[in-house]
Amino acid sequence: MVRRPDRAVGRDRHRRAIRAARMLGADFAYIGSAFIATAEANAVEGYKQMITASGAEDIVYSNLFTGVHGNYLKPSIVAAGMDPENLPTSDPSKMSFGTDAAGERAKPKAWKEIWGSGQGVGSIPKVLPAAELIARFKKEYDEAVDPAL
């Protein structure tokens, strides 16, 4: 029998949650959005800044952009000229990632103009080098493992 690793996903607003997930049996955790807002990430500066300025209230869950439900940053939807409170539901059978009949794109392109993010965006205060972010996560994890009395 092959054991599939149990995992905790990025939405750990406080890295103590990683320790808690490990104590509950998760083999690992993964974090995505925090690494988009690092100096080394290949993301446009506006995306990095939007992640640092956003909080959980700025997450919109929609399937409009790709046909698959995902979390998107509300300010990027607004910047694309759409109302994030009134997005239609996508019909996956009619999804087109190309152009419409006139040769134009019918809506903004996911990931290029509509930016995704996890629910932990409120814990990312600034763009910093990845090594500094990793050191922070390690320190917070170590403190959760062996808290000072």
Q: Could you give the dihedral angle defined by the CA atoms of residues 82, 87, 91 and 92, in that order, rounded to the nearest 10 degrees?
A: 70
What are 72-129's pLDDT values in tens digits? 999 999 999 999 999 998 877 766 666 666 666 656 666 688 999 987 788 889 999 9
11-15, 62-66, 106-110, 136-140: segment of lowest average pLDDT: 11-15
| Per-residue pLDDT, 123 | 85
| Per-residue pLDDT, 128 | 95
Average pLDDT over residues 139-147: 79
Burial class (CB in 10 A: 0-12, 13-18, 19+), 112: exposed
More confident residue, 107 or 16: 16
The pTM of this model reads 0.76
List of long-range contacts for 106-113, beta carbons under 8 Å, 24+ apart: 107/64, 107/65, 107/82, 108/65, 108/80, 108/81, 108/82, 109/65, 110/65, 110/66, 110/70, 110/72, 113/76, 113/79, 113/80
What are 44-74's pLDDT values in tens digits? 999 999 999 999 999 999 998 888 899 999 9
Q: Provide φ and ψ at 30, rounded to 5°.
A: -130, 145
24-28, 73-77, 129-133: segment of lowest average pLDDT: 24-28
- For residue 25, give both structure tokens: 């049996």
Average pLDDT over residues 121-140: 90
Determine the Cα–Cα distance for residues 106 and 125; give it in Å rounded to an integer. Answer: 34
* SS3 of residue 124 by DSSP: coil
